[in-house]
Structure 1
Amino acid sequence: MDLSRSRTTRRSSTKCTDYYEPDCDRGVRFNDPDLGIEWGITPEAAILSEKDSRAPLLTDIQNPFAWGTTKLSCL
């Protein structure tokens, strides 16, 4: 099946509960094998922003949350 011609739509959403804080902005590499998401394209065919192309693997991300609080430790 040629997925480049597929009419399947993939959507994602995020929930924001406060104002945008650039120092707390995070991302994860879209093709991280630990996530196991079949996007239907090769990494070479993906069109990514500069920021997304530099995103780390999930295992390489430090947890930004402080234990026992609702405030991010980066704030």
Structure 2
Amino acid sequence: MNFIPTKLEGCFICEPKIIPDGRGYFMESFNEKTFEQGIGQKVHFVQDNQSFSSKGVLRGLHYQTGEHAQAKLVRVLAGEVLDVAVDMRPESPTFGQHVSVVLSAENQKQFFVPRGFAHGFLVLSDTAVFFYKCDNFYNKESEGGVIYNDETIGIDWQFPAEKLIISDKDKVQPILANAQKVW
């Protein structure tokens, strides 16, 4: 697997080695030893999650706070999404900045989002199956969020705003300046 650092320290785009043949392909999607060497830290995943969404569905920007903060390794099993991470670490020189990557079943890329980051994605294909590993268990009381269209973050979602499908919960998230602290 090839690990590509992003402008946000700790976030990596992960490109698997795909071995094609006449029957299709083979790839190793996760190997703990290879993964930890590639990102330079130990991460032990304890929970896998999967969602199915239609074109235009935007989920995010979400994070877990305090002792319940989560690192995520995300990928798309079917379809295509624009995946986004926002640095929520107050002491970070890149606080409030974001990075985005297109993940698809075709490109097989994965995205590692460490603890201290908000995360969200927008479905670009007709439908998408989104899969992610978490290194900490979900805790409802520790939920945090930032509004998807915060102008100070400036995410280009590459999709018409009037066609976005957003949950009521995500429509009322605070702006970055008023968001709950991650630590």
User: Does residue 83 of structure 2 align to residue 11 of structure 1?
Assistant: yes
* AA at the equivalent of 1:55: Q
Q: Residue 167 of structure 2 is aligned with which of 43, 49, 66? A: 49
Q: CA deviation at 1:51?
A: 1.3
What stretches of structure 1 of length at least 5 have no aligned partner? 66-75
How far apart, CA to CA, are the structure 2 residues paired with 1:52 and 1:44?
15
How far apart, CA to CA, are the structure 2 residues paired with 1:18 and 1:49?
24
1:70 alignment partner in structure 2:
none
Question: 1:25-71, CA deviations, whole angstroms, 9 ceiling, x for partnerless residues?
Answer: 11111100011111133543321012111111111113141xxxxxx
Partners of 2:145 and 2:180 within 8 A in 1 = no
Percent identical: 29
Partners of 2:144 and 2:180 within 8 A in 1 = no
Say which structure, 1 or 2, has more relative contact order (CA 8 Å, 6+ apart).
1
Pair 62,25 (structure 1): closer, same or farther in 2 beyond 3 Å: closer
Q: Residue 180 of structure 2 is aligned with which of 44, 62, 68? A: 62
Partners of 1:31 and 1:43 within 8 A in 2 = no
How far apart, CA to CA, are the structure 2 residues paired with 1:26 and 1:9?
22
* AA at the equivalent of 1:61: A
TM-score, normalised to structure 2's length?
0.28
RMSD over equivalenced CA pairs, Å: 2.5
TM-score, normalised to structure 1's length?
0.59
**Runs of 4+ with deviation above 6 angstroms:** none
User: Does residue 110 of structure 2 align to residue 38 of structure 1?
Assistant: no
